[in-house]
Structure 1
Amino acid sequence: MKKLMTLTTLAALAMPAMASAQDGYTFALVPKAMNNPFFDLARDGCYAAQEELDDVTCEYIGPGEHTEMEQIQIVQDLISRGVDGIAVSPSNAPAMAKALQQAVEAGIPVMTWDADLLAEDADIRATFVGTKNYDIGVNLANITQERHPDGGTICLQTGGAAAANHNERLKGIRDTLAGEDMGEAPGTPLDGQGGWTEISGCPLITDDDGNKAVQGMTDILAANPDLTAFVSTGAFTQWFDNAYRQAAEPYKAEMDSGEMSIIVADTLPMQMEQLADGLSNGQVGQRPYEMGYRSMFILKDLVEGNEVEDPIYTGLDVCTNDNAESCLGGDS
């Protein structure tokens, strides 16, 4: 259910923040990792908003690689410095909630983007902007079902084990394939429900590491030649184009015939080229540029005492081999 939040609901944030208005605002956009091309697009959106807002500086800062504790330390440093607002994509939702509570107590408005806090901690942040992550899983599963209506064996690949966004995507996949509620996120592994069974060794945890992701896929496909579907909740599997192509190419004939499928979240440029070349069978894309862009406007609204909606969803693009040339930028 949506709700409206104002700055006054967040422990009297208005006075400390408004004091800095005469000098302009510095808002931090904190990704999970800065070596991630998905977050590069959010950075670009953040900088575009900075150009439009004369009194706003976008500070894009995060761990060089996906490191949960380093991200928390960066947020704590931002609090100590007294930035005017923080937008963060939490790697570890429970731990980040504690850090963001410190920001609220310091009078700094906070929001999440891309990944959210757990439901029990949602009141700490003013709003979430990004994807309805459960729906990513639903759409990944829908593509899988369309290609394999009789079910089969499946390996799921995900990001960090404590990342709330990826766990919601896993639940969306499992609920949809099973045709029933598989419990709290990330859901119970499939064991025949809806005709689907998750193989031993999955889900694969990647920690948002592209090398680890493509190696995990390579090993699973080699060890399970009769696998029906490999489904990944994040783009990490496909970041390194040459490595991914080498891993997927041996299975292209099965992918073309419909015997096997590789279906992955996100629609980054290299991913769309892989889809067009028949080296994936589906992509469910988010809109990271819009997340970074809108975060700056949302924080400005918050710091100036205006209402913001919660949550704010940025939509999805659902792409297959059949619509790869026309699927991006829709209003879904």
Structure 2
Amino acid sequence: MKKSLLMAAVALSAMVLAVSGAQAKYTFALVPKNMNNPFFDQARDGCKKAEAESKGALECMYIGPGEHGGGDEQVQIVQDLVAKKVDGIAVSPSNAAAMAVALQAAKEAGIPVLTWDSDLLPENKDLRVAYIGTHNYEIGVNLAKLAMQVKPKGGTICIQSGGAAAANHNERMQGIRDTLSGTKSAASPGDRLTGQNGWTEIEGCPLYTNDDFPLSVQQFEDIMAKNPNLDAFIPTGGFPQFIPDANRAAVVPYKDKIASKALALVVADTLPVQIDQMKEGLSLGQVGQRPFEMGYKTMIALKDMKDGKAPPADPTYTGLDVCTPQTADTCVAK
């Protein structure tokens, strides 16, 4: 009897040690600007891949606003995540200044934070460990280079942006303006083009979509109706192309202008639905990001930090893909 009790006690002790020694499951939140965007869907898929590879060591909690607005709902979501004491947060701030308030609370709670896709303002970067994502200024540089190949002498231009308070889109706009003007502006979104190197931004631009895709299509239609001889139209995100049927209806009337290079229509992002439209002659170039890598790498980095490993380099850039109709089948990194 005593021997049986002793053996049971030993077995129970072994079970306790096994449970106490088992790795805790971390809950990491991936917070996009909105959840009805195919770009962010790819980031979610990368996040879920990291979850699957962890074999139960981490949970990817993909959570964000249903629609992209001014950023208030996203800030509230992050505040709620802090209150729930998640193990880590990776966020793409819609409103960089407003997000700093929520991330101050995360810092005080000891919750590690990464930004991805879009970063905080320079004065608030101490609130996150690192930025993982695109070199947003370089997106603008490459969009401008594509436009310059089409229009080497310059011309009239309209830039379509995501949001006035979105740091990533402001950095892209600065890259466009600096490259076209041939000068370096002091800060994003850069200095307005008023004839530098032959480039002039038309009245009413830049346009701000706030990631409202139908609005982005309507803005293109309206600006082209008012300026039928516009030389260049450059969205800093894939907004209109994310609703392909509506975008086709809007752009097809200008397909001949695009083909003859009378209109330099070049667009950010290289999702499959966008490459298809470029192949159809509805753009002359695309500059793409790698959102899948952003979602994947933020999860791996958060787990590494929780496990006591070194934080990721700040910034950690995930690369770009520059596409033209001639390179459409090979330009996107696999």
The bucket for the TM-score relative to the shorter chain is over 0.9
Q: Do residues 320 (structure 1) and 324 (structure 2) align?
A: yes
Q: Do residues 156 (structure 1) and 159 (structure 2) align?
A: yes
Provide the residue aligned with 2:59 in structure 1.
Answer: 57
Residue identity matched to 1:137: G
Secondary structure of the equivalent of 2:115?
A: strand
Partners of 1:96 and 1:20 in 2: CA distance: 37
- Bigger mean CA offset, 113-122 vs 168-177: 113-122
Correspondence 1:34-183 to 2 at 5 A: 34-54=35-55, 55-67=57-69, 68-183=71-186
Evaluate the alpha carbon distance shift between residue 150 and residue 293 of structure 1 in structure 2; reply closer, same or farther with a 3 A threshold.
same
Q: Do residues 230 (structure 1) and 230 (structure 2) align?
A: no
Partners of 2:116 and 2:319 in 1: CA distance: 13
1:73-128 CA distance string (max 9 Å, x none): 00000000010000000000011112111101001100100000011111110011
Report which of the two structures shows the higher radius of gyration computed on alpha carbons.
Answer: 2
Provide the residue aligned with 1:29 in structure 2.
Answer: 30
Partners of 2:158 and 2:42 in 1: CA distance: 28
TM-score (norm 2): 0.91
State percent identity of aligned pairs: 59
Which of the residues 247, 250, 253 maps onto 1:250? 253
Partners of 1:253 and 1:28 in 2: CA distance: 46
Partners of 2:140 and 2:73 in 1: CA distance: 28
Structure 1 residue runs of 5 or longer lacking an equivalent are 1-18
Provide the residue aligned with 2:222 in structure 1.
Answer: 219
RMSD between superposed Cα atoms in Å:
1.3
Q: Do residues 278 (structure 1) and 281 (structure 2) align?
A: yes
Count of residue pairs the alignment pairs up: 312
Partners of 2:176 and 2:22 in 1: CA distance: 45
Indicate the structure whose relative CO is greater, using CA pairs within 8 Å and at least 6 residues apart. Answer: 1
Correspondence 1:193-204 to 2 at 5 A: 193-204=196-207
Residue identity matched to 2:265: I
Residue identity matched to 1:296: M
Partners of 2:61 and 2:269 in 1: CA distance: 25
Provide the residue aligned with 1:329 in structure 2.
Answer: 333
Partners of 1:305 and 1:134 in 2: CA distance: 32
Residue identity matched to 1:315: G
- Once the 2 structures are TM-superposed, how far is the Cα of residue 158 of structure 1 from its aligned partner? 0.1
Q: Do residues 239 (structure 1) and 246 (structure 2) align?
A: no
1:11-52 CA distance string (max 9 Å, x none): xxxxxxxx9984310000000000011000000010011000
Structure 2 residue runs of 5 or longer lacking an equivalent are 1-19
Secondary structure of the equivalent of 1:156?
A: strand
Correspondence 1:8-27 to 2 at 5 A: 22-27=23-28
Provide the residue aligned with 1:6 in structure 2.
Answer: none
Partners of 2:21 and 2:250 in 1: CA distance: 52
1:220-252 CA distance string (max 9 Å, x none): 111101100000100112110000001110011
- Once the 2 structures are TM-superposed, how far is the Cα of residue 326 of structure 1 from its aligned partner? 1.2
Residue identity matched to 2:63: I
Evaluate the alpha carbon distance shift between residue 137 and residue 21 of structure 1 in structure 2; reply closer, same or farther with a 3 A threshold.
farther
Secondary structure of the equivalent of 2:77?
A: helix
TM-score (norm 1): 0.92
Evaluate the alpha carbon distance shift between residue 300 and residue 319 of structure 1 in structure 2; reply closer, same or farther with a 3 A threshold.
same
- Once the 2 structures are TM-superposed, how far is the Cα of residue 59 of structure 1 from its aligned partner? 0.2
Partners of 1:305 and 1:150 in 2: CA distance: 54
Partners of 2:253 and 2:186 in 1: CA distance: 36
- Once the 2 structures are TM-superposed, how far is the Cα of residue 197 of structure 1 from its aligned partner? 0.1
- Once the 2 structures are TM-superposed, how far is the Cα of residue 183 of structure 1 from its aligned partner? 3.0
Residue identity matched to 2:169: H
Residue identity matched to 2:82: I
Partners of 2:185 and 2:116 in 1: CA distance: 26
1:137-171 CA distance string (max 9 Å, x none): 00000000011000000000000110000000000
Residue identity matched to 1:39: F
Evaluate the alpha carbon distance shift between residue 143 and residue 82 of structure 1 in structure 2; reply closer, same or farther with a 3 A threshold.
same
Evaluate the alpha carbon distance shift between residue 207 and residue 116 of structure 1 in structure 2; reply closer, same or farther with a 3 A threshold.
same
